[in-house]
Each structure stands twice: as C-alpha cells, then as structure tokens.
C-alpha cells in the first residue's frame, strides 16, 4: 500500500510517543491557542480587579484563578492531543455519559447564581457547568454514529444521533440555556451535512428551529426578554449591552490606553461574556482583529487539514469540533457588538471560567488529535478496500 502523510511528515511505527507527537501535531493551531490564552490573561489583568474589589478579594484573585485553570486546560489539551482517535472516542463516550448524568441532575442540585438559568453546580471553591463538558463528547459520539451508519450493514447511526441531539437540545432549552442548545444543534447539523444529508432535511430542520423559537418566545420570559432587548431600536445605556456598545465605540482603532478603560467598572460580566468589550475599549480594533484572526486561523487551518483525511469518523469529528469552537467565539463577539441576542457564552481561552477553560482544553485536544498527520493509503487502495 502506498503511504501518504499530511504535509509530507514522516511517521515511523516504532517512534517514541513524544517525538512522534511533536512531528505530527498541528503546531500552528497549538500556537494560536497559546496566544489566545496569553491575551486572555492580559485582558484579565484589566477586567477582573474591579470585580475582585467589589467582592472584597485581592486585586488579582480572578487573574490567578484564570492562570491556574488555564494552565490546567493547556496540560489537558496536550495530553488529549497525544491520544489516537480510538482512545479519543472512548474518552468522549465516557465524558459524555458523565456530563449527561450531571446535566439531568441540575434541576434538583443545580444553581443559577442569580442569572435566571440553572446551569451550574456550586462546589464552594468553584462552580461546574456540565454543558461545557457535554459538547465535545456529544460531537465525537455523534461523529462515530454518523460514520458507522455509512458502513455496509451499519447501524442506523443517523437516526440515533438525531434522537440524541434532540433530547440534549430540549434538556438545555428547559434550563433555559438556548445558547448551548443552538451550539449543539449547529455542530450536529454541520456533521450531518458533511456526512451527506439531503438539503430538504436541513431546510426542514431550519423550519423546526424557527417554530421552536416562536414557541419559546411566547412561553419563556427569559427568552422573550433577551429577544426584545436585541430587537429594540435603542439600547438602554444602563444594561450590559449598553455598556459594551459604548466601550467598543470609545475604543476606536487603537483604544483609550492600557488600564484606562471604564467599562470594566460597570459590567459585572466584563471578565467573562463581555471580555471583548474590554479589549476593544483599551486596545482598540487592532487587538479585536488579532483575536478574530487567531480564531479564523484555528478553524480554517483545521478544516483544511481534515480535507485530506480519509477516515470518515475523524473527518466528521474534527469538523464538528472545529466549527463548534469557531461558532462559540463568533456568538460571544456577535453578542458584544449587538449582532446577536445575549447568550451568556464565554470566549474560548480568553474569558474567565474554570469549566469553560478546561472543557475547551479537552475539545481542542481532541481536535489536535484528529488533525495530526498520519500515514494513509492511496485513494485507490481505500476505494478498493471499501468495495471489497
């Protein structure tokens, strides 16, 4: 069988794990993640001291916690990226099962921290959000089911994955957590599209989403309030969106200067959901464009590497993970500039948040594992094997 490798990287079966990992890993994506984490710490130095002051804590309390959780996330990312796809799949199935159990227990043991949605477990020293850990597990498990359904005499994986997606989206919507529900739905739809879904089915799914949104608007005060705030022609300057919009306008191209921003004193979520507003005010459009470029480089670069992948499971899982990562960043920044309704979603590797950072490390570690360079047979050999 003729050997081919991504990027012409030689891989020998007897190589030690670390040298093989270093030669085959997507170093550009890994570097972009480290750059985003460094930017997050820089912005945390500006955004979190006001919150620490209001809570009677040391000035850099939240920065230190972000560095701790972020460092742990980076370690987890590197460890997961060393796993072969089969072990990544096993890890995803176990993680998905545990996260699903935790998600089901939220109505009984969870808390909303005064935000109107029961999404967290309070552990005293920290909080835990199951939906953050559910996402990567769901993506990889769905990719496995979709790929299995395409094999000869395979199971009805497309139907099973659809049922699984529907159950999770409904559970998240009841919290309510429409942002995470939309992200789960989007990642599944992207994988289903790559797997060869008919356009009629996807258009029908869009209609179902529209109908569901209408019902949610009529029966959920939480959802209706956010939609009304988004559709209002004027922004109340005393709301989080009002403060964020003003900060972005004040920042201009180069920003008002390091430490000179005012929005961090007004926004309670300046270090999490609206961290990009702090970046825009103090560092201007220059830093915001740099952040957008890093996210785009990660997503586009990963998808390009996956186009050369011939294992359908790896291709689907990698595509779902990359698109989920990119869309979460897009939603967070879109909310800050009022292009999207408020969702309560963090900016991956930049916002403060233990669950978000560690779950992000797991997800990106899985993506790096899927996009590693590996020997593959020539396309003719693969087609002959499938026909046989």
The 10s digit of each residue's pLDDT in 47-70 is 888 888 888 889 888 999 999 999
Q: Does a structural domain hold residue 103? A: yes
* Residue 1: pLDDT band with limits 50, 70, 90: very low
pLDDT of residue 6: 43
Mean pLDDT of 135-143: 96
Kindly state the average pLDDT of the residues 86-95. 96
User: Which among 370, 361, 305, 308 is positioned nearest to 82, based on CA atoms?
Assistant: 370
* Cβ 202 vs Cβ 189: under 8 Å: yes
**Residue 206: is it exposed, middle or buried by C-beta count within 10 angstroms (0-12/13-18/19+)?**
exposed
Q: Are 218 and 248 in contact (CB under 8 A)?
A: no
SS3 call for 58: coil
Whole-number Å distance between alpha carbons of 35 and 31: 6
Average pLDDT over residues 278-301: 95
Nearest to 322 by CA among 367, 366, 365: 367
Domain count, the chain: 1
Contact 45, 66 (CB under 8 A): no
184: its two tokens: 């789960």
Q: Does 387 fall in a domain?
A: no
> Going by C-beta distance under 8 Å and a sequence separation of 6 or more, which residues neighbour residue 342?
226, 229, 230, 240, 241, 273, 335
- What is the rounded distance in angstroms from the CA atom of residue 89 to the CA atom of residue 260? 47
Is residue 244 within 8 Å of residue 263, measured between CB atoms?
Answer: yes
The model's pLDDT over 206-234, given as tens digits with 9 standing for 90+, comes to 787 777 778 777 777 767 777 776 666 66
Quickly state the pLDDT bin for 2 (edges 50, 70, 90). Answer: very low
Cis peptide before 155 (omega within 30 of 0): no
Token readout for 232 is 């209002």
- Kindly report the number of other CB atoms within 10 A of residue 20's CB atom: 19
Cα 147 versus chain centre, distance: 22
For 167, residues 6+ apart whose C-beta sits below 8 A from its C-beta are none
Contacts of 63 (CB under 8 A, 6+ apart): 41, 44, 45, 48, 49
Residue 370 has pLDDT above 70, yes or no: yes
The answer to whether residue 310 is domain-embedded is: yes
Confirm if 131 and 177 have CB atoms less than 8 A apart: yes
The number of C-alpha atoms within 13 Å of 184 and in the hemisphere containing its C-beta is 28
Backbone angles phi, psi at 122, to 5 degrees: -90, 120
Which DSSP state fits 350? Answer: T
**Considering the chain, what percentage of its residues have pLDDT values greater than 90?**
48
| 156 part of a folded domain | yes
Residue 348: inside a domain, yes or no? yes
Q: Which two tokens stand for residue 235?
A: 């922004």
The tokens describing 210, both together, are 């529209």
**What crossing angle do the helices spanning 130-149 and 312-336 adopt, rounded to 10°?**
140
Lowest mean pLDDT among 7-11, 63-67, 166-170, 195-199: 7-11
Phi and psi at residue 273, in whole multiples of 5°? Answer: -65, -30
Residue 119's domain comprises 3-378
CB 115 within 8 A of CB 176: no
Does the pLDDT value for residue 377 go beyond 80? no
Cα separation of 256 and 277, whole Å?
A: 12
Q: Is residue 115 a part of any domain in this protein?
A: yes
How high does pLDDT run on average in the chain?
85
pLDDT of residue 80: 97
Rounded to 10 degrees, the C-alpha dihedral 319/320/325/327 comes to: 100
| Domain-embedded: residue 383 | no
Q: pLDDT-derived band of residue 380, with 50, 70 and 90 as boundaries? A: very low
Q: Rounded distance, CA 269 to CA 48, Å?
A: 9
Burial class (CB in 10 A: 0-12, 13-18, 19+), 277: buried
Please indicate, yes or no, if residue 53 is contained in any of the structural domains.
Answer: yes
């Amino acid at each position: 069988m003729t050997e081919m490798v991504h990027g012409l990287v030689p891989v020998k079966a007897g190589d030690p794990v670390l040298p093989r990992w270093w030669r085959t890993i997507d170093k550009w994506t890994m570097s972009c993640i480290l750059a985003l984490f460094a930017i997050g710490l820089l912005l945390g130095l500006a955004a979190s001291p006001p919150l620490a002051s209001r809570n009677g804590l040391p000035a850099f309390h939240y920065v230190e916690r972000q560095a701790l959780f972020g460092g742990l996330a980076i370690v987890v990312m590197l460890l997961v990226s060393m796993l072969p796809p089969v072990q990544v799949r096993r890890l995803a199935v176990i993680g998905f099962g545990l996260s699903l159990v935790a998600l089901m227990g939220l109505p009984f043991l969870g808390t909303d921290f005064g935000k109107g949605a029961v999404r967290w477990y309070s552990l005293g020293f920290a909080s835990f959000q199951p939906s953050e850990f559910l996402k990567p597990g769901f993506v990889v498990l769905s990719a496995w089911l979709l790929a299995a359904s395409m094999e000869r005499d395979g199971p009805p994986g497309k139907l099973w994955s659809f049922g699984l997606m529907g159950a999770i989206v409904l559970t998240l919507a009841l919290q309510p957590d429409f942002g995470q529900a939309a992200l789960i739905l989007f990642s599944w739809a992207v994988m289903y599209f790559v797997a060869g879904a008919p356009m009629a089915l996807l258009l029908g799914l869009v209609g179902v989403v529209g109908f569901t949104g209408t019902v949610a608007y009529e029966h959920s005060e939480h959802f209706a309030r956010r939609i009304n705030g988004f559709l209002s022609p004027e922004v109340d300057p005393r709301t989080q969106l009002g403060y964020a919009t003003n900060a972005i306008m004040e920042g201009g191209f180069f920003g008002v200067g390091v430490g000179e921003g005012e929005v961090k004193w007004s926004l309670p979520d300046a270090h999490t959901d609206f961290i990009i507003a702090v970046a825009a005010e103090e560092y201007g459009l220059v830093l915001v464009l740099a952040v957008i470029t890093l996210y785009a480089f990660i997503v586009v670069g990963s998808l390009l590497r996956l186009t050369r992948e011939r294992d359908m499971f790896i291709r689907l899982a990698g595509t779902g993970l990359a698109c989920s990562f990119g869309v979460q960043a897009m939603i967070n920044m879109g909310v800050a500039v009022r292009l999207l309704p408020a969702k309560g979603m963090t900016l991956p590797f930049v916002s403060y948040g233990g669950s978000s950072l560690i779950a992000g490390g797991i997800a990106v570690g899985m993506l790096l594992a899927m996009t590693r360079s590996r020997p593959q047979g020539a396309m003719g050999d693969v087609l002959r094997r499938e026909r046989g």
